[in-house]
């Protein structure tokens, strides 16, 4: 076995020093009944690289990569071009094969990028402080609600009808099992919902997504004021982080917690994970945040350096009183995010966002001309909702058969609401070409 350095001679010598005659003897504590003799059945033996590569490639070949076809799928995960430098750097063994930076003297690399990550997240969201990442946006969303509950000492959260249904489900699941109440607003297809009226002095927070899952872009300042007036927090969710290159950030609209899916910067689609949750808040709530935090300090020689800090919030110190049970987070995805954003910089991100928006405008305008297609949105960033003349799920299947990945039918996200069945979410990014748009329009024209 190529990964195992011990030789049979080694093993013999080691057993001799230990003073037992076989490795089996080391497992003497295992109850007899539970000891398996021989290998577990039904599983193949080891295989060489060439063989494994063939098996994995055979599986991969049964999928349709986004890059191989016109591609318009979004709804919480976006296909952006990631510069080659990112993947090169994150694969450096010193990043890839290191653990959580518990020994800061030999982990300054990780710690410094986490500090940079936290700063970038703060800048992007317009918030004061950010943590060192969550698993993804959806779990970050649920954690944000629990944090709001802690901060407000209340336990009623209002979830916008524009919140990504998976995020709502994750939050509802948390609510159900960790004992708070989640109130779901109805699907806000038109982007016109007004949640302010629902906020009362039992409300811990309102969770609203911008742009919404249907693509609408809204100024949330009034909602923030309404929340604050009742002592509730406003949690803003962003599932397309690139939008923050164009839109006023949630922080400037008065958000108290901002949760963001960071995948769109630095990370591939990966069929849904691993992604990276960005989590930011105001300085005053710092000690209520979940997750790791990296902070600046000095070393014994007075040199600047970084450490994990405020860990008295965390499970490994605080145990049952921790703000969250999170331990492993999304370190390497955060690094990819940080590197990609460093490559983009202010000018790059701003332009990238503009290109996304302009491409989406072109796509919306072109598709609007197809008979049987109505664009629902007045406003959007790089994704919008189409109302088709027939069931969107079957349309996407037909498109797929023609090698076009045409978008996400809303019914895929929300089951059992037939009035949503004709809705299709369509996303365009800098990777979308005029030819792609034309191909989609032409195919829709034929199909509808």
Ligand X SMILES: Cc1ncc(COP(=O)(O)O)c(C=O)c1O
Binding site for ligand X (CB under 6 A): 327-328
Query: What are residue 85's phi and psi, to 5 degrees?
Result: -60, -35
**Min CB(102)–ligand X separation in Å:** 10
**The only residue of 153, 186, 197, 321 in contact with another protein, by rule CB under 8 A:** 321
Secondary element (H or E) of residue 388: strand 383-388
**Min CB(431)–another protein separation in Å:** 10
42 binds, among a second copy, another protein, ligand X, none (CB under 5 to 8 A by kind): another protein
Query: Is residue 435 near another protein by the rule CB under 8 A?
Result: no
Residues 158-177 interacting with another protein (rule: CB under 8 A)? 164, 166-167, 169-170, 172-173, 176-177
- Spatial separation of the C-alpha atoms in residues 94 and 88, rounded to whole Å: 12
Query: Is residue 96 near another protein by the rule CB under 8 A?
Result: yes
Specify whether the CB–CB gap between 157 and 149 falls below 8 A. Answer: yes
Query: Is residue 124 near another protein by the rule CB under 8 A?
Result: yes
**Min CB(328)–ligand X separation in Å:** 3
Residue 37, token pair as written in the block: 């003799």
Q: How many CB atoms lie within 10 A of CB 221?
A: 14
Query: Is residue 429 near another protein by the rule CB under 8 A?
Result: no
Residues 310-349 interacting with a second copy (rule: CB under 8 A)? 343
Q: How many CB atoms lie within 10 A of CB 435?
A: 9
Query: Is residue 354 near a second copy by the rule CB under 8 A?
Result: no
Angle at 392 between CA 388 and CA 398, to 5 degrees: 110
Residue 165, token pair as written in the block: 């249904």
Q: Which of 413, 37, 35, 83 is nearest to 265 (CA)?
A: 83
**The only residue of 84, 197, 298, 300 in contact with a second copy, by rule CB under 8 A:** 84
Cα dihedral 137, 138, 140, 145 sign: positive
342 binds, among another protein, a second copy, ligand X, none (CB under 5 to 8 A by kind): another protein
Of 60 and 84, which has the nearer Cβ to a second copy? 84
Specify whether the CB–CB gap between 214 and 377 falls below 8 A. Answer: yes
Of 231 and 322, which has the nearer Cβ to another protein? 322
Cα dihedral 142, 415, 363, 274 sign: positive
The β-bridge relationship of strands 129-130 and 277-281 is antiparallel
435 binds, among a second copy, ligand X, another protein, none (CB under 5 to 8 A by kind): none
128 to each of 96, 122, 187, 254, 281, how far by Cα in Å?
29, 6, 31, 12, 6
Of 86 and 226, which has the nearer Cβ to a second copy? 86
Q: What are residue 423's DSSP bridge partners? A: 387
**The only residue of 91, 297, 325, 379 in contact with a second copy, by rule CB under 8 A:** 91
- Spatial separation of the C-alpha atoms in residues 138 and 143, rounded to whole Å: 9
Please choose, out of 198-206, 224-232, 357-365, 440-448, the segment that lies near another protein by the rule CB under 8 A: 357-365
The β-bridge relationship of strands 233-238 and 203-209 is parallel
431 binds, among a second copy, ligand X, another protein, none (CB under 5 to 8 A by kind): a second copy
**Min CB(111)–ligand X separation in Å:** 18
Please choose, out of 116-124, 223-231, 366-374, 439-447, the segment that lies near another protein by the rule CB under 8 A: 116-124
Query: Is residue 61 near a second copy by the rule CB under 8 A?
Result: no
| Residues of the shown chain interacting with a second copy in the complex, contacts defined by CB under 8 A | 2, 49-50, 53, 81, 83-84, 88, 91-93, 343, 430-431
């Amino acid at each position: 076995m190529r990964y195992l350095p011990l030789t049979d001679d080694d093993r013999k010598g080691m057993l001799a020093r230990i003073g037992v005659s076989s490795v089996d003897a080391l497992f003497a504590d295992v109850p007899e009944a539970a000891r398996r003799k021989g290998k577990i059945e039904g599983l193949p033996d080891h295989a060489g690289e060439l063989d494994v590569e063939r098996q994995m490639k055979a599986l991969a070949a049964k999928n349709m990569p986004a890059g191989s076809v016109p591609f318009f799928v979004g709804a919480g995960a976006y296909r952006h071009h990631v510069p080659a430098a990112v993947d090169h750097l994150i694969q450096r063994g010193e990043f890839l094969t290191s653990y959580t930076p518990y020994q800061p003297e030999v982990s300054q690399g990780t710690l410094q990028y986490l500090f940079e990550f936290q700063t970038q997240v703060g800048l992007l969201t317009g918030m004061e402080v950010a943590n060192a990442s969550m698993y993804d946006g959806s779990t970050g969303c649920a954690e944000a609600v629990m944090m709001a509950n802690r901060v407000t000492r209340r336990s009623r959260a209002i979830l916008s009808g524009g919140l990504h249904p998976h995020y709502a489900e994750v939050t509802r699941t948390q609510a159900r099992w960790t004992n708070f109440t989640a109130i779901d607003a109805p699907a806000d297809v038109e982007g016109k919902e007004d949640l302010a009226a629902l906020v009362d002095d039992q409300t811990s927070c309102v969770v609203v997504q911008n742009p919404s899952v249907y693509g609408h872009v809204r100024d949330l300042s009034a909602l923030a004021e309404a929340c604050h007036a009742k002592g509730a927090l406003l949690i803003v969710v962003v599932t397309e982080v690139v939008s923050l290159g164009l839109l006023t950030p949630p922080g400037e609209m008065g958000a108290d917690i901002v949760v963001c899916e960071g995948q769109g910067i630095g990370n591939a689609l990966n069929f849904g994970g691993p992604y990276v949750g960005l989590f930011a808040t105001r300085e005053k709530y710092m000690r209520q945040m979940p997750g790791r935090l990296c902070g600046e300090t000095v070393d014994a020689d007075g040199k600047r350096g970084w450490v994990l800090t405020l860990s008295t919030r965390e499970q490994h110190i605080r145990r049952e009183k921790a703000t969250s049970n999170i331990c492993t987070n999304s370190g390497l995805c955060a690094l990819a995010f940080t590197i990609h954003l460093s490559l983009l910089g202010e000018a790059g991100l701003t332009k990238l966002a503009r290109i996304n928006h302009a491409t989406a405008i072109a796509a919306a305008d072109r598709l609007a001309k197809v008979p049987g297609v109505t664009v629902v949105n007045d406003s959007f960033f790089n994704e919008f909702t189409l109302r088709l003349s027939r069931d969107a799920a079957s349309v996407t299947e037909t498109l797929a058969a023609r090698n076009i990945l045409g978008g996400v039918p809303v019914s895929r996200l929300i089951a059992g609401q037939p009035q949503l069945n004709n809705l299709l979410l369509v996303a365009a990014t800098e990777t979308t070409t005029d030819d792609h748009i034309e191909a989609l329009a032409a195919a829709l024209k034929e199909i509808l």
